[in-house]
Amino acid sequence: MSDHAVADATTRSRQSSRAVHHEVIVIGAGVAGIYQIKRLVDLGVDAIVLEGNHDVGGTWYKNRYPGARFDSESFTYGYSFSQELLDEWHWTEMFSPQPETLKYLEYVVDKFDLRRHMHFDCRVDAMRFDDDTATWTLELSSGQKLTTHFVITALGVLSVPTMPTIEGMESFEGPSFHPFDWPQEPVELAGKRVAVIGTGATAIQIIPEVAKEAGHLTVFQRRPNWAAPLNNRPISDQEMDEIRARYDEIFAACARSPGGFEHEPDRRGWNNVSREERLELWDRLYDGPGFGIWLQNFAEIFMDEEANAEFSDYIAERIRQRVDDPELAEKLIPKDHGFGIQRVPLETGYFEAYNRDNVMLVDASETPIERITPAGVMTADGTERPFDLIIYATGFDAFTGAFDRMDIVGAGGCRLHDKWSDGPLTYLGLLVHGFPNMVMLAGPQIAATNFPRACETAVDWATPLLEHMWAQGLSRFEATAEAEGTWCQHVADMYEPLLLRKAKSWITGYNSNLEGHEYGKMRLNIYNGGGPKYATVIQQEAEDGYPNISFA
């Protein structure tokens, strides 16, 4: 940004000093919001972050449940923008646990002195665009109003938890909560009778940890999920030095791979390798770290029913080897979908947890939960099981939930909630026609990749767009309706060849606890074209001078 443009932006802020006005407001102080405010502060722009939580971290501030950690290799999860930061930070585990990741984000914020640009406990309830002034007015839950020229949303993709709607939930006499709202003070588990409802990625992390502590754990499983070992391990000082020496190579590999990881698909071709060669790869991947089992596999597995069935059988066999009771093992093996068409949870001792005497599985597809009683959970067969604690690991209102809970009114009084009632419509997952001067950093229809890699891509696109506005003296930008239509068609086309289009998963918008999210009401939540293709498309838009964005 030129000095002249900075001066202009600052003058605009002062001119509207009657209302609290900022040139840019970023909503959310998680991974995306932190990097965005860093870029804006570096430009000298009057920008702030509004964060609903009491401190920084987003997902990592909230999800404090036992076992919470990411499935990305730690050194591919950190920010790449600062060499100094890369040189300083020591990841202690291949897959960092929640407390360390939160500490990392706090460290970044303190290192770059970003906290003074952040306002905590500030939840935005509503946002309204004023066509005459090309500004947004934001209303906080405190009643305070702020105005801004540009809004950048960094709301997270899984930041609105969904509780089930089971009769009697409010009558339960013990503590009960969603893992997203796990209390900050220690939760006493020793000797307690604990229920976990749900068997998604979150529950799969919680179950083995709670099993170690609790007196007894009962898991209510409606549909099993495929899961594979995380294979976590510590990172020594020497290994961290080696990682630091190859950070350029690591980030280049992430930028090359569809998923934003070092894992790249096996491109030999399913039909060009023998069954023995396939088995050799799968054994290696199953014993290897992280998402290799998903992302270093043959692409055909995710497009071809037969290939998928063969690989699913392989994983089923690995599950049978790990669970002592053969009948129980069968219950833990998904029969309604193949491996990898839902987001694959990675686990540490998940299947072995069921070999413990203090762990029991209730098949809630056979005996559904009928109601929650003051003492515990009653199933349809009339059995009431008493509990001291109930954990509802029942998922999220993914991608659009964080937007839907704000009343966002764009140009001409158009409500985002109405526009997205059948699913998100965006241009490049970054802009929405009818909602000028707003950029989404972690919105729907971005490339589904290693989250921080996607965030950096989005911030590195959004920031030059704003610089373009300031440099040209422009006041309003908006994606054209045509461009949005073309992008949404492309997003739909990218779902077409993939088996995941049939998944009962947040990837297709399924959530049994949300009206309008029933199975079959497809929502195009993610861009399946992969990180490199996505980056090329959005970079091209910028290089060509934003031909699909109208300016005023």
**Overall size of the chain counted in residues:** 552
In the complex with ligand NAP, which residue's Cβ is closer, 198 or 429? 198
Residue 140 in 3-state DSSP?
A: strand
Q: How far is the CB of 28 from ligand NAP (least distance, A)?
A: 17
Site for ligand NAP in 349-388 (CB under 6 A): 364, 369
Rounded Cα distance between 506 and 501, Å, is 11
Size of the site for ligand NAP (CB under 6 A): 27
Contact between 27 and ligand NAP (CB under 6 A)?
Answer: no
Contact between 203 and ligand NAP (CB under 6 A)?
Answer: yes
Rounded Cα distance between 315 and 286, Å, is 9
Query: 164, 168, 175, 532: which one contacts ligand NAP (CB under 6 A)?
Result: 164
Query: 23, 46, 51, 71: which one contacts ligand NAP (CB under 6 A)?
Result: 71
Rounded Cα distance between 60 and 38, Å, is 19
What mask, x for binding ligand NAP by CB under 6 A, covers residues 451 to 490?
Answer: ----------------------------------------
Amino acid at 196: V
DSSP one-letter code for 445: T
In the complex with ligand NAP, which residue's Cβ is closer, 32 or 48? 32
State the sign of the Cα–Cα–Cα–Cα dihedral 510, 514, 518, 524: negative
Rounded Cα distance between 354 and 40, Å, is 50
Site for ligand NAP in 292-351 (CB under 6 A): 343
Rounded Cα distance between 504 and 390, Å, is 24
For residue 141, give both structure tokens.
């839950």
Site for ligand NAP in 388-417 (CB under 6 A): 393-396
Q: In 3D, which of 483, 477, 487 has the Cα closest to residue 527?
A: 487
Q: How far is the CB of 5 from ligand NAP (least distance, A)?
A: 39
Contact between 528 and ligand NAP (CB under 6 A)?
Answer: no
**How many other CB atoms are found less than 10 A from the CB of residue 34?**
28
Residue 3 in 3-state DSSP?
A: helix
Q: How far is the CB of 102 from ligand NAP (least distance, A)?
A: 14
Interface stretch with ligand NAP, choices 100-108, 121-129, 191-199, 231-239 (CB under 6 A): 191-199
Task: Give the CA diameter of the chain.
Answer: 73
DSSP one-letter code for 173: -
Site for ligand NAP in 218-247 (CB under 6 A): 220, 222-223
Q: Where on the chain is the footprint of ligand NAP (CB under 6 A)?
A: 70-71, 158, 164, 166, 197-203, 205, 220, 222-223, 343, 364, 369, 393-396, 504, 506, 512-513
